[in-house]
Amino acid sequence: MGLLWDSLIVQPFTNMLLLIYAFVGNFGLSIILFTIIIRLVTHPFMAAQIKSSTGMQKLTQSDEWKAMQEKYKKDQEKLSQETMRLYKENGINPFASCLPSLIQLPIMIGFYQSIVRAIGATPMQLLSVVRSIYPGMENITHAASLSALIPIHSQFLWMDLGQPERVFLGAFLAALGIPAVGIPVLAIIVGLTTYLQTKLTMPASSGPNDQSAQMTQTMSIMMPLMLFMFTLNYASGLAVYLITSNLIGVLQYAALGKVNWSSLIGRKPEVVEVVVKPVKQLPKKKSAKRS
């Protein structure tokens, strides 16, 4: 399984990253460009996810849905049959909202592994890089040959992309009598941009009892916190990827007209009027009482 993962995901990603590096000569730019490519490639999945989530949200807030839930709450089999019928009639694929995430997650993990591998911060890690490079790479450009690629310039702006990033305020803190402490600037930016993205792409609430909106609200705190902690001790190349990915994500949502600017300035998201296309009347059941 490990070998399959390596040869299907990590190795191609590593080579792609190194190939971009061979052309642009800057590893930080390579990560940014590769992130943009990956976001573009996965854009159709993301658009499908947004479309499906919006449709699903509208459907679950409709009277039709609520009536069905109430009617068949004691008959799980019938409830699932009717749920599927409603999905079908409204053109919603319930798996379309989670499938894109399932596709994007291994890409993110694989991409991180390829960044760490490509940089090779020790001889042992370099051994892994050398083994990952496809023999045909140098036929594309001489800059992609082993001798031209190694050593990788892992410096980008103020950071070493193969190492966790810290900005040391040594002189400033020493003057205050405090030992040098590294400030994880990039991890903070990751947290901020993740918060920004979650806030901006948060769907409008359909009402005060909208559980999905409440869950999203919780996620808008959880995700930045998790990714901040995650990037603290990981190679800063991952942070560059996450920041780029977050910003491109906002742009993608904006292009689809789904950015919720009001949530950023603190205004409560406006309540959406739910309109669901009429469907056939539910079959009546003697025991069921309409509320």
Partner 1 sequence: MKFNRMLLLVFAGLISVLLTACGAAPLANWPGMTSDGKNVYLSNGQVVYTVKVSDGTELTTTATDGSSVSMRFPPKLDSAPLFYVAPTFYGAPALTPDGQMILGDASTLTNVHSIYSVDPATDSTKWTFAEAKGNWIAGAVVSTDAIYAAAGDGKVYAIDFKGKKLWDVNVSDHALWTSPVTDGKLVYVATLAHDVIALDPTTGEQRWKKTLDNAIIGAPAISADGMLYVGTLSGNLYAINAAEGSQVWLTQLQGGIWSTPALDGDTLYVGTSNGTAGKFYAINPADGKLLRTIDDTGAIVASPLITKDQVIYVTEEGHINFFHKDGSRSIPVISIENAKIYTTPILVGDLILIAPMNAPFILAAYNQTGVQQWTFAPK
Regarding 291 and contact with partner 1 (CB under 8 A), the answer is no
Q: Specify the residue, 168 or 261, whose C-beta has the smaller distance to partner 1.
A: 168
Residues 223-282 that bind partner 1 (CB under 8 A): 225-226, 228-230, 232-235
Identify the residue among 2, 123, 257, 266 touching partner 1 (CB under 8 A): 123
Query: What minimum distance in Å lies between the beta carbon of 227 and partner 1?
Result: 9
Residue span 128-147 as binding mask against partner 1, x where in contact by CB under 8 A, dash where not: --xx--------------xx
Query: What minimum distance in Å lies between the beta carbon of 210 and partner 1?
Result: 11
Residue span 164-183 as binding mask against partner 1, x where in contact by CB under 8 A, dash where not: x-x-x-x--------xxxx-
Q: Check: CB of residue 31 under 8 Å from CB of residue 240.
A: yes
- Of residues 141, 146, 99, the one with CA closest to residue 126: 146
- Of residues 184, 186, 121, the one with CA closest to residue 154: 121
Regarding 98 and contact with partner 1 (CB under 8 A), the answer is no
Beta strand spans in 16-102 (E): none
User: And the tokens for 234?
Assistant: 């990981």
Give one word for 21, left, alpha or beta, with left for phi > 0 and alpha for psi -120 to 50.
alpha
Q: Specify the residue, 136 or 179, whose C-beta has the smaller distance to partner 1.
A: 179
Query: What minimum distance in Å lies between the beta carbon of 152 and partner 1?
Result: 9
Q: Specify the residue, 46 or 235, whose C-beta has the smaller distance to partner 1.
A: 235
Phi/psi of residue 105, nearest 5 degrees: -60, -50
**Where is 156: in which H helix or E strand?**
strand 155-156
- Residues in the interface with partner 1 (CB under 8 A) total 40
Q: Specify the residue, 122 or 287, whose C-beta has the smaller distance to partner 1.
A: 122
Distance CA 289, CA 92 (A): 28
Regarding 160 and contact with partner 1 (CB under 8 A), the answer is yes
Burial classification of residue 7, based on how many CB atoms lie within 10 Å of its CB (0-12 exposed, 13-18 middle, 19 or more buried): exposed
- Of residues 188, 206, 214, the one with CA closest to residue 274: 206
Regarding 25 and contact with partner 1 (CB under 8 A), the answer is no
Q: Specify the residue, 55 or 237, whose C-beta has the smaller distance to partner 1.
A: 237
Q: Give the DSSP letter string of 160-182.
A: ETTS---EE-HHHHHHTT----E
Query: What minimum distance in Å lies between the beta carbon of 122 and partner 1?
Result: 4
| Site residues (vs partner 1, CB under 8 A) | 116, 121-127, 130-131, 146-147, 150-151, 153, 160, 163-164, 166, 168, 170, 179-182, 211, 214, 217-218, 221-222, 225-226, 228-230, 232-235
